[in-house]
Chains A and B, each alone.
Chain A
């Protein structure tokens, strides 16, 4: 079974609109962390947001928020007020406590295109 599943290979959104990128995960570890990274066309990996499995509130970082639904094992990324510069590949990732150090398992990504 896939540990991290991103079912949307590509998404389009109009500038200034909000968009939700889906991520579901699978783990039996009670302690885990969920991450979102952005990869623009230049290729670098940019950390966006983190959610711990025991965090009571959904994480927010500026225009990014994480819709964490623990019972459903989902950790969707919400980008509000989309900008042209948000066009990029977005990866969801998970760290399990049973794993080595801070090893992350990544999903296959969602390509987001922001249009005028």
Chain B
């Protein structure tokens, strides 16, 4: 019973490169959330997606960041032209859907992006 799978676990990029982070939700889950955790801080919401739809992107920076959750395959968080300030841990979480159980988010182990 695989949990939320994120890859890569660690990613190093130089300034100006692109970073792609992938998230496969738990089996049976159709809702995905991305969070960012800067060093020594709590998690900040970025975006909430369902299959083929972005439901809430209120936490996404306006430029360089995008997310998708296609009909087939994992959810992707894409960061173009990375800068040092993008260095953080990016967590993906999934739920079966709205109103399911307590609404607990099941988190992946995170992807740690380091921008040189």
Q: A101-B31, A103-B33 are in contact. Are A33 and B102 (CB under 8 A)?
A: yes
The reply on B52 being an interface residue by CB < 8 A is: no
Q: How far is it, in angstroms, between the C-alpha of A68 and the C-alpha of B7 when the chains are bound?
A: 37
With an 8 A cutoff between CB atoms, is B109 at the interface?
yes
Contacts of A108 in B (CB 8 A): 41-42
- A30 is an interface residue with CB less than 8 A from chain B: no
Question: Assuming the A-B contacts A45-B91, A108-B42, are A103 and B102 also in contact, with contact meaning beta carbons closer than 8 angstroms in the complex?
Answer: no
A47 touches B104 (CB 8 A): yes
Question: Are B95 and A101 neighbours in the complex by a CB distance under 8 Å?
Answer: yes
A residues sitting closer than 8 Å to B (CB atoms) are 33, 35, 37, 42-47, 50, 52, 91, 93, 95, 99-109
Would you call B116 an interface residue if the criterion is a C-beta within 8 Å of the partner chain's C-beta atoms? no
B43 within 8 A of A: yes
Distance from A115 Cβ to chain B, minimum over Cβ atoms (Å) = 22
- Listed by A's residue number, 27 A-B pairs whose Cβ atoms lie within 8 Å are A35-B104, A42-B109, A43-B89, A43-B110, A44-B108, A44-B109, A44-B110, A45-B43, A45-B91, A45-B107, A46-B107, A47-B107, A50-B102, A50-B104, A91-B42, A91-B43, A99-B56, A100-B55, A100-B56, A100-B58, A101-B56, A102-B98, A102-B103, A104-B105, A105-B45, A106-B44, A108-B41
CA distance A104 to B95 in the complex (A): 12
Which one of A46, A91, A104 lies within 8 Å of B45 (CB-CB)? Answer: A104
